[in-house]
Structure 1
């Protein structure tokens, strides 16, 4: 059975503590928008997966109750930065498997200011679920008193530079592109435009990554209504976007065997998920028009180009420098501004990517519209680890 996204919604992503709201307020806004966009009521929703990382158990219920008290199952989902896409995946599986005809996927986060710690809970490394990942980093590069997530991705960037000749300017070009894209996104946390020189001149967080190459902590929520074909026909729904194929992968021995931070931060997971999606869809990256990918740090966008097959391994710096991943190029990558500029409330990120791609494939993205977009790809990854790749296609 096919699964379609019938409605999407999100809040503006904002700096933590900049607005007087609670996570359930965010979900009421994003979820209500998604239901209205689909043209349905909460009473028609049969199941609700809710993604978040920083709230206690059953926070999903507290949030969903703002939309209605109908007694439907609510599932609380936590998969680090891949949480939002994981909630979407559960919604798709419920619909494709015939367990439900209408599912609402929700994702939210209310975060603290400052850098993340050793995991979503900010706990110490000895008990962190990602201790093995950081152990690989420390064995090769040592451990410095800089934010640990910036450190592990910064070390991956240095390895890429040493191995393939990638330059700091090419890394900065990713951030400059995404900041430029966000200027046209009213949902983005930041809408300031910077050039490569400005990116490089910003404060260094962990060499070679500057502040403007790192995603911020953010507050926000996003939502998607996923329905079956029969539900859509019965309700006469329009503006449907098909979930053509989707895959989640987790770490294998390849993530750790090389001792490389490039592998530890998830490039092998992303590559495997993309291959599964292409095989299931009968489509390839050459068929994709627009991409929303997980640029938590500028280097991860480059690593993901390679994992998705957009270029050969080691050629991603040249790809972004060529203009192939912006308007007028082969693909438009992160028209929303990406995590770097749109913001990164962990539980909402994957669903915000979905919202952007649905708007793009409907031709409803306003000034950031990718001309003629019909096929979109989302990539959402979390350390610890999970990589989710989703291929969307405009229905009809």
Structure 2
């Protein structure tokens, strides 16, 4: 079953390193979203929590944890874990409940309190966990494969470290305008180039941080939204949570190994491109219909890759699109007008929801100095560990 659901409210707890429990961030975001929607917790039929394994058992059962913190009242509850795609899967679950008639109003919440430094697998030694194996056997922490992505783009398309730096310059300028961003300071290309090398060719300012933060949205059926006085609400038109297709099954690294797997033809599209295609097909739109995009810029080079995977330009043309100013505010297709992860850092279960918060504010023309003029259609894109797709299309 497909169809639109309304976004009645959006709220966030600002990103940072606050040193408190994830529950506090999620509850603050939830209350902000409820206030924005003009309803109370008692009006909510269901709550879906995007889980965080770093929050211990309360994090694994995030939906129930947030329900308890907001006040137990018999609300339907679900918890979803899909790494960085957790928020999108939580949104998909909420949307399915509304479209199936199980609920009229659903609150979706995600929050995290992230450790300092690189993410590492939670729970000790886990030799059946590909993430654990990547860290322990290959020594490939996250910045290592961010660097591999960057090297691949340099080798195939002629991208340069200067191109990567300009992504950070663009996103930092927009993050400086966002009150929820952790980093609210403009940077220059020279500052990026002079920051410490982390994984050649990427420097410290090319790579996103880990952060604390929370985000929440209130979704409702279109009939409820009209009764509630929302004549033309922002609508979720598609939620893509697809998995990879053989033989293109490399989940985290560039498409090096399995694209040359014996007896199999290379895949026609990357996993990231398949995420976007599924979203476009469900929404009945194409990249030419977009007003703006929020993408998963774990590194500056990865943002450029998303330009191509979303179909904003042809293969190898992302740096050209950036240089032309097309992805800047005021350009043909602004990307990461929120400031992106470059300005927020990762609060894993919250980030796909935070992207939808930005879509909501932009489509309402309520984003202030970072507003995309005439925004009518927006898309989010990221991916979760182990092959979790994540893309949401919202329209006004």
> TM-score, normalising length from structure 1?
0.90
1:322 pairs, out of 287, 302, 324, with: 324
Cα distance, 1:224 vs. partner? Answer: 0.5
Is residue 91–residue 239 contact of structure 2 (8 Å, CA) maintained in 1?
no
Is residue 241–residue 392 contact of structure 1 (8 Å, CA) maintained in 2?
yes
- What is aligned with 2:70? 67
RMSD in angstroms over aligned alpha carbons? Answer: 2.4
Is residue 46–residue 103 contact of structure 2 (8 Å, CA) maintained in 1?
yes
How far does the alpha carbon of each residue in 1:117-140 deviate from its partner, in whole angstroms, 9 at most, with x for none?
Answer: 2x4x275573424367779xx8xx
Cα distance, 1:111 vs. partner? Answer: 1.4
- What is aligned with 2:265? none
C-alpha separation in 2, matches of 1:307 and 1:263: 17
Task: Classify the secondary structure of the residue corresponding to 1:188.
Answer: coil
Task: Classify the secondary structure of the residue corresponding to 1:82.
Answer: helix
1:335 pairs, out of 334, 337, 346, with: 337
Matched, 1:199 2:192: yes
- What is aligned with 1:5? 7
2:309 pairs, out of 303, 307, 310, with: 307
What pairs up with 1:113-262 in 2 under 5 angstroms? 113-117=116-120, 119=121, 121=122, 123-124=124-125, 126-130=127-131, 143-144=138-139, 148-237=141-230, 240-256=233-249, 261-262=254-255
C-alpha separation in 1, matches of 2:78 and 2:307: 32
Cα distance, 1:383 vs. partner? Answer: 2.2
Task: Classify the secondary structure of the residue corresponding to 2:241.
Answer: strand
C-alpha separation in 2, matches of 1:263 and 1:236: 52
C-alpha separation in 2, matches of 1:329 and 1:133: 39
C-alpha separation in 1, matches of 2:189 and 2:234: 35
Task: Classify the secondary structure of the residue corresponding to 1:333.
Answer: coil
C-alpha separation in 1, matches of 2:356 and 2:257: 26
Task: Classify the secondary structure of the residue corresponding to 2:69.
Answer: coil
What pairs up with 1:44-83 in 2 under 5 angstroms? 44-53=43-52, 54-55=54-55, 56=57, 57-83=60-86
Gaps of 5+ in 1: none
Is residue 6–residue 239 contact of structure 1 (8 Å, CA) maintained in 2?
no
Task: Classify the secondary structure of the residue corresponding to 1:84.
Answer: helix
C-alpha separation in 2, matches of 1:123 and 1:208: 31
Cα distance, 1:264 vs. partner? Answer: 8.3
Is residue 235–residue 395 contact of structure 2 (8 Å, CA) maintained in 1?
yes
> TM-score, normalising length from structure 2?
0.90
Is residue 16–residue 217 contact of structure 1 (8 Å, CA) maintained in 2?
no
How far does the alpha carbon of each residue in 1:33-62 deviate from its partner, in whole angstroms, 9 at most, with x for none?
Answer: 101111111112111110132222324322
C-alpha separation in 1, matches of 2:327 and 2:63: 36
C-alpha separation in 2, matches of 1:15 and 1:257: 32
Gap change, CA 1:264 and 1:16, over 3 Å in 2: farther
Gap change, CA 1:392 and 1:258, over 3 Å in 2: closer
Is residue 16–residue 111 contact of structure 1 (8 Å, CA) maintained in 2?
no
- Number of positions where the alignment pairs a residue of Structure 1 with one of Structure 2: 381
C-alpha separation in 1, matches of 2:142 and 2:251: 19
C-alpha separation in 1, matches of 2:254 and 2:65: 38
C-alpha separation in 2, matches of 1:42 and 1:355: 19
Is residue 43–residue 68 contact of structure 1 (8 Å, CA) maintained in 2?
no
Cα distance, 1:190 vs. partner? Answer: 0.2
Cα distance, 1:221 vs. partner? Answer: 0.6
C-alpha separation in 2, matches of 1:172 and 1:28: 36
C-alpha separation in 1, matches of 2:229 and 2:211: 36
C-alpha separation in 1, matches of 2:345 and 2:217: 18
How far does the alpha carbon of each residue in 1:9-51 deviate from its partner, in whole angstroms, 9 at most, with x for none?
Answer: 001001252xxx3222212210001011111111121111101
- What is aligned with 2:31? 32
